Amino acid sequence: MRETMAIAKRELLGYFATPLAYVFIVIFLFTMGVFTFYIGNFYQNERAELTAFFGFHPWLYLFLIPAISMRLWAEERKAGTLELLLTLPIPLYAAVLGKFLAAWAFAGLALILTFPIWITVNYLGDPDNGVIFASYIGSFLMAGAFLAIGSCVSAMTSSQVIAFVVSVVVCFLFTVAGTPIVIDVVSTIFPLAIVNAISSFSFLTHFASITAGVIDLRDLIYFLSLIALFLFATAVLIDLRKAG
Amino acid sequence: MPHPVPPLQFRMIEIEGISKHFGPFRAVDGISLSVARGEVLGFLGPNGAGKSTTMKMITGFLAPSAGRISVCGFDVAQQPLEAQKRIGYLPEGAPAYHDMTPAQFLSFIAEVRGIDGEARERQIANAVKRTELASVLEQPIETLSKGFKRRVGLAQAILHDPPVLIMDEPTDGLDPNQKHTVRQLIREMASAKAIIVSTHILEEVEAMCTRAVIIDKGHLVADGPVVGRDVQFTVTRGGTQEAITAEAGRLDAVFRSLTTDEAAS
């Protein structure tokens, strides 16, 4: 636990030591605003809800989250600090978890900073704050799932660009797993059971059910187990490197 | 004369027949050696001979393809964390987190190593003093000169006062004065530790080592104590052993004859 916290602290310090954190947060808030107000027609809808706002989260995360996760391991590998990190007496899980928690906390901070929109909608009308709260939880969990996938991809390469591009593609597949883009293709090849299994992996489906205002245990378990799975895969990939 | 084997309780690093294969390439091919407390072992050899790979295996960064390593009695493969607690390691190129200052970096290392409170202050101060880092403590590491970066790496390695020190080219890129300081530091620490240093500067062997080995193409070809300014090598070639003494200033000729096909001249 001590090691996990030490790693997480160092990572977070790293985000804020460079302009990265500030640039990211500004762009995150800016794009969230643009999408919600202009493309989502927040005002024209004249409804006291944040459905438009949350509806864009999966699509914005698709590009913004890999921008955080791409450096997690690729940068360490490139700079040679991976050798330093892995020869310190730290259990591997602590390094993987510490880095992930730092990235997740950072994404959480960016998400919390969107609070003015919550205030705005309460000022303009009388929204269901329970639904909004649930949606924030759902969005945070989804960000964690994106980050865990990104962590795993980053562990495979020393190039941050490759880590970014591959993460976007993998995250895209997870996002659209339940939509016709994927279903149409897989249903021509696989039997229905497999098609259903694949579509149940969709971020959109699980996120949509949370943003509807119901935090279902199944959706929680889905996101948390996805995070656990990809962090485990990250650890396996890092450990494989040992064998040369 | 084979090198005298130190008593068991003083052997801090024990390497038994380790090999490392990358695909068909044998980076390290059956190296055995042990290092006792009080020894400063110089790792010599051409680039690509397997020096760094051997160090990476001792410190648990790479897993050997065959053989076993123990550090202070702990098997590196079985109990890596126990072994790593007892090792200070300066990897090749002295990597460090460039966005941190040396003060933050050393504090992070201390925290990870579980050094708390008053002990943390004291041990960081001690490492800073020994590596003469005080003047740059609050500057980001990326802005430091090569010499200072190397010293940050050294400070990190000696911070927890480890019984075993592994240093991959600790003096590479330093100016003559800095080299002198680092050699002196290594000599000062020698009595209480088992130290392995790799170097391409053969004069460093007589300046700081008590023993030297030459590694070539993954094999350990020569091993011997430094006596005065001479290195009394036992050379193993083609299953036979012969004694070769590299006298002061002649080490490079012996090195060349052992690691190339040229005859010693």
Q: Is the pLDDT of residue B67 over 90?
A: yes
Mean pLDDT of chain A, nearest integer: 89
Helix pair angle (A129-154, A217-240), 10° resolution: 20
Average pLDDT over residues B133-152: 92
State the Cα–Cα distance between residues B84 and A85, nearest whole angstrom.
Answer: 11
Average pLDDT over residues B236-250: 82
Q: Is the pLDDT of residue B263 over 90?
A: no
In a domain, B32, yes or no: no
Domain positions in chain A: 2-243
Best of B97, B104, B107, B142 to substitute, by most chain A Cβ atoms within 10 angstroms, is: B97
In a domain, B123, yes or no: yes
Average pLDDT over residues A97-116: 94
- Chain B residue numbers with beta carbons less than 8 Å from the beta carbon of A243 are 62-63
Tell me what percent of the residues of chain A surpass a pLDDT of 70. Answer: 99
Print the domain residue range for B126.
Answer: 97-161
Q: Is the pLDDT of residue B7 over 70?
A: no
In a domain, B259, yes or no: no
> Minimal Cα–Cα distance from B190 to chain A, Å?
22
In a domain, B115, yes or no: yes
Q: State the pLDDT at residue B258.
A: 86
CB A15 within 8 A of CB A28: no
pLDDT band at B210 (very low <50, low <70, confident <90, very high): very high
Q: State the pLDDT at residue B173.
A: 79
Q: State the pLDDT at residue A112.
A: 94
What are the tokens at B191? 């009595």
Q: Which of A35-44, B90-99, B234-243 has the lowest mean pLDDT?
A: A35-44
> Minimal Cα–Cα distance from A23 to chain B, Å?
16
The residue in chain B having the minimum alpha-carbon distance to the alpha carbon of residue A10 is B108
Subunit contact A89:B112, Cβ cutoff 8 A = yes
Average pLDDT over residues A197-218: 83
Greater model confidence, B70 or A212: B70
Q: Which of A48-57, A86-95, A120-129, B182-191 has the lowest mean pLDDT?
A: A48-57
Please choose, from the candidates B81, B173, B163, the residue with its C-alpha nearest in 3D space to the C-alpha of residue B152.
Answer: B173
Subunit contact A2:B21, Cβ cutoff 8 A = no
A176-186 pLDDT, tens digit per residue, is: 887 777 778 87
Subunit contact B62:A86, Cβ cutoff 8 A = no
Please choose, from the candidates B174, B212, B228, the residue with its C-alpha nearest in 3D space to the C-alpha of residue B40.
Answer: B212
Average pLDDT over residues A94-123: 93
In a domain, B82, yes or no: no
Q: State the pLDDT at residue B1.
A: 44
The DSSP H or E segment spanning B158 is helix B146-158
Q: Which of A95-104, A108-117, B200-209 has the lowest mean pLDDT?
A: B200-209
Q: How many domains does chain B have?
A: 1
Greater model confidence, A144 or A244: A144
Q: State the pLDDT at residue B262.
A: 53
State the Cα–Cα distance between residues A53 and A76, nearest whole angstrom.
Answer: 35
Greater model confidence, A201 or B8: A201
State the Cα–Cα distance between residues B174 and B147, nearest whole angstrom.
Answer: 5
Q: State the pLDDT at residue B9.
A: 56
Tell me what percent of the residues of chain A surpass a pLDDT of 90. Answer: 52
Greater model confidence, B215 or A201: B215
Q: State the pLDDT at residue A105.
A: 96
Total Cβ atoms within 10 A of residue B222: 26
B37 three-state secondary structure: coil
Q: State the pLDDT at residue B264.
A: 45
Average pLDDT over residues A83-109: 95
